[in-house]
Chain A
Amino acid sequence: MTARRQAKRGRGTLEFADVGHADDGPLLKVEDLHTWFRTSRGTVKAVDGVSLSVDQGQTLGIVGESGSGKTVLSRSIMGLLPVRDVVRSGTVHFAGHELTAMKPDQLRQVWGAELSMIFQDPMTALNPVKRIGRQVTESLRLHLDIDRAEATAMAIELFRSVGIPSPEQRVRWYPFQLSGGMRQRVMIAIALACAPRLVMADEPTTGLDVTVQAQILDLLGELQRERHMAVILVTHDLGVVASRADEIVVMYAGRIVEQAPTRTLFSDTRMPYTRALMDSIPRLADPSGVRLHAIAGRPPDMIHPPRGCRFAPRCPYVQDKCREIEPPLRTAGSPDHLFACWFPLVNGVSTAPMESAGAGAPPTTPATSARAPIPFGDTAINPDAEVQSP
């Protein structure tokens, strides 16, 4: 009996390996993903042309404030959004599958087994009337074809690995008997039950207090290293991803505005929005009573996004050009650092002409040469010597 099951499980792993072989590129490759919602007020362009990729074992952080489209992006990648009144275009390659072209029952084979999700609010993401053990064993039995006793044993093992004390007793508990942190551990156990290759964690610690946050994130990182899985960590908090992501994508108004390996992003921030996000992190060194930095204004209306750069209305360094022409995502220096800004920051200083100096101020920075006529369209190139078009 056990032999048969092992054979089945073995076959499962074999298919797994085959898929891995067939696809040598990144584990997840999203290209030009658009997700629009048709509403009675107009079309909301929640995700508007996002491309990114994640390698096996890597952590990608997606950062942005509320309403920047990060949650929609993660759900859109998974294909979780309803079909009605949602327009989705672009491609999502995952482990040899093209997720955007898959039918619901094909997606179900991938969901849970290879691609799973950790939800934001562990209070609502667990079924309140089912024992937590059941909630884990159900997906185990669904994907691994094992009997109840075996699944329960695995669930206990999983609970132990996510740091739930006395898992033998706790499998019989209901969610309301657990604290928020414990529930999030259960959520993680459910998401990791079938050893997925990619886990989407959508603000996994927002509902938890700071000490528990750190525990949960450390746990996630530990499990990630053990299992060599990829993680997409969606958050509004740069501090959360700073030490945990290999690469960070900063989103604003449905688009990527800056993307770089974590170290580069923090040491060589180019996009004023990213800078503003960093500045808004409260600092321990600040004396008490110091005002926190906030970004003035609100994210734009996604039905009628502003012409030109979407951050322009809130940008402290905004120029006329920013309001007219949308900056493309381009590189400068290192090829894996992308940003969308006409006047990127260099060493924390804007390359835009100083506003206070007035319009007649003599050009003092190289970026002012960008005011010279430039070709329109996607190939718009800033003649700034240090910046090159991708």
Chain B
Amino acid sequence: MPDDRELAETHASTGLLGDWVPGTAAMDELVVSRQSESLDSDDILVKKPLGFLFWFALSWVGLVVLLAVIADLLPLANPNFQNYSAINARPSFHHLLGTDDLGRDLLSRVIYGSRVSLIVGFAAVTIGMLVGGTLGLISGYKGGRMDTWLNAGAFVLLAFPAIVAVIAIVAFWGHSLYKITIILSVAVIPLLYRVVRASSLSFANRDFVIAARTMGATSTRIVFREILPNVIPAAAAFGLITVAGVIVVEGTLAFLGLSVALPTPSWGNIISEGATNGNLQVNPFIMLWPVLAMFLLLLSINLIGDRLRQRFDVREGLL
């Protein structure tokens, strides 16, 4: 029965009935299930299953994060230990993913390397969201001169080719983990600001906001209690997709040798090593594993972001 309801829901929302014939047993069942006034609110919420892909994506992200966190507890080889008796070894029981041209264990390097990507990706977006998101919320609700100036500022920053600016700053300022994080968070602030502001603006003059005002709510209360909960789904979805973007940029920097210094592994610099010194011909696994891990991570993050947005999309036409 849940499937029928889901199907009916889809048809109702798209307005297409397809081969659906009103009055079929399934439809009657749906009508009955709607009419029988169950008071359990969860029962009335017609939940669409998130699907196998979503759970696969979530498990992959979960696995990557978990491994990165507990890497020190795992029986992994030292990612920087060079075993000269096992250079360019193929995957085996001793080295599950093989070794690179210096005899370092690739599984260990890929897992430790994920730390850099994850920290930079999530930390930069969190900082960016705190700053850009807060500014966007307030500026979208308040409007006026502050909004005009912030918006103009965001446009100026967006007009800069971000990657070039980031490379220039990294080249001058240095490239430790926290500096990379700060620089990338600054780079995503205007993006997140714009998205949150647009969303906030679309709620700023809605009746429920005016209604909250007539009940004596302060601006702070309106922004954080009335508008923020409405903005969160869109912001979270976009934030996740931005995480994916930041991971790519960090990878690019690492590939160019501008991220964390060697020999500390990061996906970007493992890929870079795999591509140099003719390694790609001799041992394609060096490049394959980090590329595969990153590809799946980005795909998963995007998929989760998208599903969450669909899931929490407030469907006012649901009646």
Which residue numbers of A lie inside 8 Å of B, CB to CB? 78, 80, 84, 105, 108-113, 115-117, 119-121, 123-130, 138-139, 142-143, 166, 169-170, 172-174, 176-177, 179-180, 187, 190-191, 193-194
Assess the A130–B229 pair: CB atoms within 8 A.
Answer: yes
Which residue from chain B places its CB closest to the CB of A78 in the assembled complex? B214
With contacts A117-B211, A128-B314, A139-B216 known, what are 9 further pairs, Cβ within 8 A?
Answer: A80-B213, A105-B218, A124-B208, A127-B212, A127-B226, A128-B230, A139-B215, A139-B217, A172-B41
Contact A112 to B225, CB < 8 A, known contacts A128-B314, A173-B41:
no
A108 and B198 CA atoms in complex are apart in Å by: 27
A120 and B207 CA atoms in complex are apart in Å by: 9
Whole-angstrom distance between the Cβ of A85 and the nearest chain B Cβ:
12
Assess the A111–B208 pair: CB atoms within 8 A.
Answer: no
Contacts of B1 in A (CB 8 A): none
Assess the B217–A142 pair: CB atoms within 8 A.
Answer: yes
A194 and B214 CA atoms in complex are apart in Å by: 12
Assess the B225–A138 pair: CB atoms within 8 A.
Answer: yes
Which parts of B20-62 form the interface with A (CB within 8 Å)? 39-41, 44-45
A180 and B318 CA atoms in complex are apart in Å by: 12
Assess the A143–B210 pair: CB atoms within 8 A.
Answer: no
Contacts of A190 in B (CB 8 A): 211, 215
Tell me if B70 counts as interface (CB < 8 A to partner A). no
Which parts of B217-257 form the interface with A (CB within 8 Å)? 217-218, 221, 225-226, 229-230
Those 7 A-B pairs whose CB atoms lie nearest each other, nearest first? A112-B216, A112-B215, A125-B207, A139-B215, A124-B207, A169-B39, A117-B214
How big is chain B's contact interface, by range? 20 to 34
From DSSP, what is the main secondary structure of chain B's interface residues? helix
A347 and B221 CA atoms in complex are apart in Å by: 55
Assess the B316–A111 pair: CB atoms within 8 A.
Answer: no
Q: Would you mind naming 19 contact pairs between A and B with Cβ atoms under 8 Å apart?
A: A84-B144, A111-B216, A116-B214, A119-B210, A125-B208, A125-B210, A127-B226, A128-B230, A139-B215, A139-B217, A142-B215, A166-B39, A170-B39, A172-B41, A173-B41, A173-B44, A176-B319, A177-B45, A180-B319
Contacts of A108 in B (CB 8 A): 216-218
Count chain A CB atoms within 10 A of each CB in B45, B213, B230 and give the residue with the most.
B213
A112 and B216 CA atoms in complex are apart in Å by: 6
Q: Among B39, B212, B214, B315, point to the contact of A176 (Cβ < 8 A).
A: B315
Contacts of B315 in A (CB 8 A): 176
Contacts of B316 in A (CB 8 A): 123, 128, 176
Which residue from chain B places its CB closest to the CB of A134 in the assembled complex? B225
Contacts of A139 in B (CB 8 A): 215-217
Which residue from chain B places its CB closest to the CB of A125 in the assembled complex? B207
A252 and B12 CA atoms in complex are apart in Å by: 42
A109 and B214 CA atoms in complex are apart in Å by: 10
Contact A119 to B211, CB < 8 A, known contacts A130-B229, A176-B314, A176-B318:
yes
Whole-angstrom distance between the Cβ of B310 and the nearest chain A Cβ:
15
Whole-angstrom distance between the Cβ of A6 and the nearest chain B Cβ:
22
Assess the A125–B211 pair: CB atoms within 8 A.
Answer: yes
Instruction: Mark B297-319 against chain A: 1 for CB-CB distance below 8 A, else 0.
Output: 00000000000000000111011
Whole-angstrom distance between the Cβ of A55 and the nearest chain B Cβ:
22
Contacts of A180 in B (CB 8 A): 319
Assess the A127–B39 pair: CB atoms within 8 A.
Answer: no
A169 and B39 CA atoms in complex are apart in Å by: 7
A128 and B207 CA atoms in complex are apart in Å by: 11
A110 and B225 CA atoms in complex are apart in Å by: 20
Assess the B41–A169 pair: CB atoms within 8 A.
Answer: yes
A169 and B218 CA atoms in complex are apart in Å by: 29
Which residue from chain A places its CB closest to the CB of B214 in the assembled complex? A117
A142 and B226 CA atoms in complex are apart in Å by: 14
A350 and B186 CA atoms in complex are apart in Å by: 74
Assess the A111–B229 pair: CB atoms within 8 A.
Answer: no
Assess the A111–B144 pair: CB atoms within 8 A.
Answer: no
Instruction: Mark B190-216 against chain A: 1 for CB-CB distance below 8 A, else 0.
Output: 000000000000000011101111111
Whole-angstrom distance between the Cβ of B229 and the nearest chain A Cβ:
5
A191 and B211 CA atoms in complex are apart in Å by: 9
Contacts of B41 in A (CB 8 A): 169, 172-174, 177
A222 and B249 CA atoms in complex are apart in Å by: 64
Contact A116 to B210, CB < 8 A, known contacts A123-B316, A176-B316, A177-B44:
no
Whole-angstrom distance between the Cβ of A264 and the nearest chain B Cβ:
32
Count chain A CB atoms within 10 A of each CB in B40, B45, B211, B214 and give the residue with the most.
B214
Assess the B208–A126 pair: CB atoms within 8 A.
Answer: yes
Contacts of A174 in B (CB 8 A): 41
Which residue from chain B places its CB closest to the CB of A105 in the assembled complex? B218
Contacts of B214 in A (CB 8 A): 78, 80, 111-112, 115-117, 191
